[in-house]
Structure 1
Amino acid sequence: MHPDSPRRVGALGRLTVNRPRVLVSGGSGFIGGTVVPLLNSAGVRIRVLVHEQSVEAGRYAEVVDGDLADPSSLRGICRDVDAVLHLASYVGKDEDRCGAVNVDGTRGLVQEARRAGVDRFVQLGTAAVYGNGPFRDLAEGAMEPRPVSPTSRSRLVGERFTLEAGGAVLRPYLVYGTGDRWVMPALLRMLRALPSGLPERGAALLSLTEVGSLALSLTRMAVAHRARGAAGVFHACPSRPVSLRELVAAAHRHLGFPLVGGDQSFEQARQALVAAGCDSHILDLLGVDHWLDATRLGAMGHHPPEIGLSAGLAAHAAWYRDQLML
């Protein structure tokens, strides 16, 4: 489904009076690539912060250059802005880069927003800050974060600047859809390495969020009138988790992924992945319960109409088939 579809635009509504101006960091990334067209279709004035990437400046009005790793380059970018959508982050193993972008960059952007008097700051976080699991029906505040990677540790630290400034952080777990370079490719690698069976019958329960639904939650939080005063951590995912077994069946049906039956222990699956030359961390992501409770986001009125996994994969099937050469 294209981000400019009537379902998305109608759900957000067109803002024709007192059109807000929103600064978006990471506008050319996976999530930003859906958020920016959605804001544009709703009549929001958009200022996109970019660094070493190109965006369609003419279409989205205003593009500003800046580097989150260089706070001096951010000076003045929040002037005349009503809200900030901070979607940019560094995902990788470089500790220094994680600190420069995810910690110092977030701090600098929050400081610029406060200096300019911006009263709405919404950051895209990640449920990876909770660690490898397992957890079921996890509500915000019910568990202390236990990040295990440089990326998730630094993103957790960066979140604190947003929260201390009265902003909101939306934490999805796994996000799929057009632009996804992580979730479905990892699933495909795992299935090819485990032809003999899924770990523990594929019973793990996972919170998967379609990219357009996440984009809609983020934009509603940033521009909707009742979003004023919304602060804290919000889980951003459907109310119902899906099992790994359901995910595999849907990926087979819509994307042509291998349909793996059978069963093996978690440890057997890990050994098979290692033998196949795959990163066994895939099992920690997909083979263990990671089920979030998103009731709080729904209570704020910013939980979008849910799109089921089957419909979500079908909507993005052409892109996945092209990118994965299926």
Structure 2
Amino acid sequence: MTAAGPADAARRARIPLNGGTARSDEGTDEGTLVLTGATGFIGSRALGALTDGGRGTRVRALVRTVPDDGGRAGSVEWVRGDLTDPDAVRGLCEGARVVVHLASYIGGDERLCEAVNVDATRALMAEARRAGVRRVVHLSTAAVYGAGPHRGITVDEIPAQPVSAVSRTRLAGEAYAREAGAVVLRPGLVLGAGDRWTVPGLRELVERVPAEWDGGRALLSMVDVGDLARLIATVATGPRRVPPGVYHVSHPDPVRVGDLLAVLARHGVLPPRPEADWPWPVCLERLRSTPGLVSERQFDLIGRDHWYRAEEIWELAAEPAGPGPLSRLADAAQWYRERVGRGL
């Protein structure tokens, strides 16, 4: 029995590929790149970097729902399906030379964490290996290291100690990607239009803990979503082949949390910084005494040092890191102002 190809998956979903008549996968050009997570915060920007930057990349994107602008001038072959459905993944990588796996589940359902971050990753990587894919890029997270403080840590300098189902399953997914010869990317905090966690969480925290948090001295690994997307596209399609392995992919220069809050306040996204300066134990006590959605673990991620050295990946890809996430915030400020104050 032959494996079902992307055209078969599309017929099951009753949608055509490339906005036209569904076709067979015979003779697919080896330049095809398979992308998951193409409609997400990071994935949508990566898709743009791959298709709008003059790279000429033909993308086959597995999505649950084809977006309204699904045409993208014929450069994207949309395949409707759920990553956790074996039928949707089977044959997805046929004729492709690159797989970029950006999809993940970051909610509180442990069953879905396992299904998406582990089982689906295992199935996709098996398909990539079977199809003889040349490059694999897999998005993970620096949260696999667990609680800080971490200052200037290189890859695996300390053992991974995930403390949540999300980070535990994403670490488990890494193992399958590494077996497939992937470049595994571990970003820290990601900023930019579409961010529904970092800056919204900061808004809640500055209200619950209205002071400088331990002097605002914490150093954080951060990256602008556009810069991260640009790097992903270069690693996936650039002329320089980045050796398989695990890499931190934040901006090389860490961000001081006090500076982050000041810039967001200057752009009118957050209220002005308070004059009070509380030591970390006092900040934690205040957080515990005020109800809210942001957990103590999440406060730790942004209020204490979580800085991971990331120079290597930018150098290997020969891709400039850009001016840094604080400089990029001006571009996202309006998006944040329209959403953070009234909830996302």
Fold match by TM threshold 0.5: yes
Q: What is aligned with 2:269?
A: 256
Match of 1:175 in 2: 190
Matched, 1:231 2:244: yes
Verify: 1:312 aligned to 2:332, yes or no: no
- TM-score for the superposition, normalised by structure 2: 0.85
- Given the alignment of the two structures, is residue 38 of structure 1 paired with residue 54 of structure 2, yes or no? no
In structure 1, the residue matched to 2:306 is: 290
Letter in 2 for 1:235: H
Separation in 2, partners of 1:81, 1:255: 45
CA contact (8 A) 1:133 1:289 kept: yes
Say whether residues 1:83 and 2:94 are aligned partners. Answer: no
Structure 1 distance, partners of 2:119, 2:227, is 29
| Residue matched to 2:33 | 22
Secondary structure, counterpart of 2:41 in structure 1: coil
Q: Distance in 2 between matches of 1:140 and 1:304?
A: 20
**TM-score, with normalisation over the residues of structure 1?**
0.90
Query: Root-mean-square deviation (CA), in Å?
Result: 1.7
2:330 maps to a residue whose letter is A
**Which of 1 and 2 has greater Rg?**
2
1:49-64 alignment runs, 5 A limit: 49-52=62-65, 54=67, 56-59=69-72, 60-64=75-79
Task: Give the letter aligned to residue 298 of structure 2.
Answer: I
In 1, are the aligned partners of 2:213 and 2:279 still within 8 Å (CA)? yes
How many angstroms does 1:284 deviate by? 0.9
Please tell me whether residue 117 in structure 1 is matched to residue 128 in structure 2: no
Q: Is the Cα contact below 8 Å between 1:166 and 1:232 reproduced in 2?
A: yes
2 CA distance for matches of 1:189 and 1:285? 14
Alignment partners' CA distance in 1, 2:95 and 2:222: 36
**Cα distance in 2 for residues equivalent to 1:135 and 1:25:** 30
Per the alignment, in what secondary structure is the counterpart of residue 225 of structure 1? coil
What is the deviation of 1:303? 4.1
Give the corresponding residue for 1:14.
none
- 46-55 vs 250-259, greater mean Cα deviation: 46-55
Instruction: Report if aligned partners of 1:130, 1:146 keep a CA contact under 8 Å in 2.
Output: yes
Q: Alignment length, in residue pairs? A: 307
Aligned residue for 2:79, secondary structure, equals strand
Distance in 1, Cα, partners of 2:90 & 2:141 = 27
Which amino acid in structure 2 is aligned with residue 208 of structure 1?
M
Sequence identity (%): 40
Unaligned runs of 5+ in 1: 1-17
Separation of aligned partners in 2, 1:304 and 1:53 = 32
- Give the deviation of 1:52 after TM superposition: 4.3
> Partners of 1:99 and 1:167 in 2: how far apart?
20
**Counterpart Cα distance in 2 of 1:70 and 1:304:** 38
| Code of the aligned partner of 2:304 | V
Alignment pair present for 1:192 and 2:207: yes
Give the alignment partner of residue 270 of structure 1, picking from 266, 284, 308. Answer: 284
Q: Give, in whole Å, the separation in 1 of the partners of 2:198 and 2:143.
A: 13
Report if aligned partners of 1:28, 1:55 keep a CA contact under 8 Å in 2. no
Q: Which residue of 1 aligns with 2:154?
A: 139
Deviation at 1:72, TM superposition (A): 2.9
Unaligned runs of 5+ in 2: 1-28
Query: How far apart in 1 are the matches of 2:175 and 2:161?
Result: 15
| Superposed displacement of residue 32, structure 1 | 0.8
SS in 1 for 2:96: coil
| Alpha-carbon distance in structure 1 between the residues aligned to 2:169 and 2:51 | 31
